[in-house]
Amino acid sequence: MCSLPTSPEAVVFDCDGLLVDTEVCWSIAEAAVFAAHGHSFGQEQKALLIGRTVEAAGEAMADYFGRPGAGAELAAELLEGVRKELARGAAALPGAAELVRACRAAVPIAVASNSPRELLDTALGSAGLAEYFPHSFAADEVRSPKPAADLYLTACEALGVAPKRSVAFEDSATGVSSARAAGLYVAVVPSLPGADLDHDWLGAGLDEPELLDWARGLGSGTVR
């Protein structure tokens, strides 16, 4: 039984690894940076970076590599790698398009992403989802990106809704922290297997039947 509110004022989605299968692009680029600096890359290293902005990932890699002050250089390497991988195309994750359409039919929706605008637009366009989102917000458009609350607060303000009566969809601890800080309900589909993330609803994919049933029934009840 889905524990999300049945009459939210809005639904705000993360993008990378949640709507669009871009985490493979990020992982390839991240692994290449790690390899270039003499380090292996696995789930432990991925956990250091997932959900972060490019800049924050650069700083995390600088710390991990023992190269203080190299964050900007490493971030630039990562950004170029992600650009190249995204240029090959990225597909919508299973259930994403159906869920987005069902939510959009009932309530305002938006995207709040920790990617820069350039990568966000590329990802949504490549996956065929851009047309569904007249409102999207990127990390380089707010003062403090995730895990700060700014992206979700900005999205809710633009939609004219109360954060405490809205639902966020996320896949990472960074994103969940942002949504919680803004006061939203949180639905989680973890990108990292076994991740223990705070949630109001937790599932293995956006294509889970109970989730689509929830979306199709939006507006039929009251927010708890």
State percent of the chain over pLDDT 70: 97
Q: C-alpha dihedral over 58, 28, 129, 184, to 10 degrees? A: -50
What is the reported pTM? Answer: 0.90
pLDDT of 28 > 50? The answer is yes
- Residue-wise pLDDT tens digits, 96-107: 999 999 999 999
Could you tell me where the DSSP H helices lie in 66-224? 71-86, 96-104, 117-126, 150-159, 173-182, 209-216
User: Which residues are within 8 A (CB) of 161 and not within 5 positions of it... i.e. 6 or more apart?
Assistant: 9, 10, 108
The predicted pLDDT at position 194 comes to 80
Q: How confident is the model at residue 155 (pLDDT cuts 50, 70, 90)?
A: very high
Give the least confident one: 33-37, 140-144, 163-167, 192-196. Answer: 192-196
pLDDT of 36 > 60? The answer is yes
Contact 54, 29 (CB under 8 A): no
Rounded Cα–Cα distance for residues 36 and 199 (Å): 37
Mean model confidence pLDDT for the chain: 95
The predicted pLDDT at position 138 comes to 98
State percent of the chain over pLDDT 90: 93
Q: How confident is the model at residue 219 (pLDDT cuts 50, 70, 90)?
A: confident
Q: Residue with structure tokens 């309900």?
A: 185
- Residue-wise pLDDT tens digits, 109-128: 999 999 999 999 999 999 99
Domain extents in the chain = 10-21+90-216, 23-86
| Assigned CATH class of 10-21+90-216 | alpha beta
The predicted pLDDT at position 193 comes to 82
Average confidence (pLDDT) over 62-83: 97
